[in-house]
Chain A
Amino acid sequence: MIRPLLLALALTLTACGAPPASEPPPPATQALTVTPTLARTPVTRTQNVLRVHVADAQGTSVMGAAVAVEVTMPAHGHRAAAPAVVELDDGDYEASPLNFTMAGTWDVAVSVTKGTGSGAQTLKVTTP
């Protein structure tokens, strides 16, 4: 009676698809919290500065992350030159200059990666 049960259990475990020994499980990804803010308001067409704070799920500041900023105008399909990003301290990063090539509504998309962690946030900006 017990032998058939053990056999069935073994078959079930095999069917569940445990990963082969040669393929290690992919590392778990970690969601990072990305908080972009404009350093100066109201926004102008040129020389804006974007501050980005990066934290992990526990709220701990993340340093040494790769931060990329993409500036686009969705309604026109436009793209503006990407600002340079420098790391400040305590999980803070600064992107500048943030220039908008024409008046209108722009998306400032920030994407962050650090090890297995990643996060993204988009800031909508309307320029005069």
Chain B
Amino acid sequence: MNAWAVLGGLLLAGSADAAACCVTTSQFGGRLSPWETAAVTLGVSGAPTVGWWDEHGAWSPDAPGATDLELRASLAAILALGESFEVSGRVPWLLNRRTADGLTDVATAPGDASLAVRWAPMEGVGLNLGLVLPLGRSTATTRSPLGADVTGRGLWAVSGAVTVEQLELPWYLQLSIGATVPLPSGGQRFGPSLEVSVAGGRELTDGLVVHLRGRFTVESPRLVDGAAVANSDAHELAVGPSVSWKFHPHWTLDAAVETGLFANGMGDNRQGRVAGSTSLRYGFF
């Protein structure tokens, strides 16, 4: 099988999104195979926390009895506009379950949606421009005791990314560099974030590809009335394997796991989660 076919499915699936309380809502991935005109993907993911990095990068496991599970269902679509342009959108729905001190807090609501445009000036290179639509509930308006009703960051954001792919069948390598810039809101401005990811994979048999991906995300400090908030910068390193199975010319099944590296310094000012996701993709051609 042509590896471009498998890559198309993989890149749409991507990895599970970051925690709702620290939403980054990446929209850097996702593209069509060269012969496809559109694709639709339904994905689900689960991401429990296992601990957190404080503002100095010290790792602590979750306290006994404290849990935070994010379940997410996403519907995504990509549409080709000519030979080198694509538009895509994704709408997530979240269900959060949090417990602490014997109290259980469960809530469900839409998350932040995203729109993106991709331009491929040449084979193997993609330029993405994206927009995050704050459809989710932010912490500023939370009403539930443990914040389970928080499903978004409450901010519009724009993003841009460059993705480069290299194929040497049966191997492939992908490098993505992207930035997300939240727009100011309510007297504060979250710092822009930069995400660098490297993914590589190998086609094992016809239609079955395994992948390994590493991601590094860094976010600059939050600004309030123009002044930086101390210790509000953040970073996180995460890795995970995934598998893509194109079991039908139109259908691709993906499964992925992503985990932080739960040790001092491997993150900063972030919750640590292990995320598992699976998605089913249909390509039109």
Contact = CB atoms under 8 A, between A and B. Distances in A.
Contacts of B190: 77
Interface string A87-105: 0000000000101011111
Interface in B134-159: 139-140, 142-147, 150
Contact of A102 (B52, B55, B188): B52
A74 to B, nearest CB: 5
Contact of A45 (B101, B143, B144, B229): B101
B37 interface: no
A81 B55 contact: no
Secondary structure type dominating chain B contacts: loop
A75 interface: yes
Contacts of A128: 60, 63, 66
Contacts of A79: 139-140, 142
Contact of B269 (A44, A47, A76): A76
A46 B139 contact: no
Interface residues of B, number: 32
Contacts of B144: 81
Contacts of A46: 100-101, 103, 145-146
B235 interface: no
A117 to B, nearest CB: 26
A101 B62 CA distance: 13
B22 interface: yes
B103 A47 contact: yes
Contacts of B103: 46-47, 99
A115 B222 CA distance: 35
B258 interface: no
Interface in B199-228: 222
Interface string B239-283: 000000000000000000000000000000101000000000000
Nearest to A99: B145
B60 A103 contact: yes
A77 B101 contact: no
A51 B252 CA distance: 58
Point out which of A44, A74, A75, A80 has the most chain B C-beta atoms below 10 A from its C-beta: A75
Given A77-B232, A80-B147, A128-B63, A104 B54 contact: yes
Contacts of A75: 55, 222, 229, 231-232, 269
A101 B99 CA distance: 10
A45 B22 CA distance: 19
Contact of B100 (A44, A74, A78): A44
Contacts of B66: 45, 103, 128
9 contacts: A45-B101, A74-B229, A77-B139, A77-B190, A81-B144, A99-B145, A101-B98, A103-B66, A104-B52
Interface of B: 21-22, 52, 54-55, 60, 62-63, 66, 68, 98, 100-101, 103, 139-140, 142-147, 150, 188, 190, 222, 229-232, 269, 271
Given A46-B100, A80-B139, A101-B142, 4 more contacts: A47-B101, A79-B142, A80-B142, A128-B60
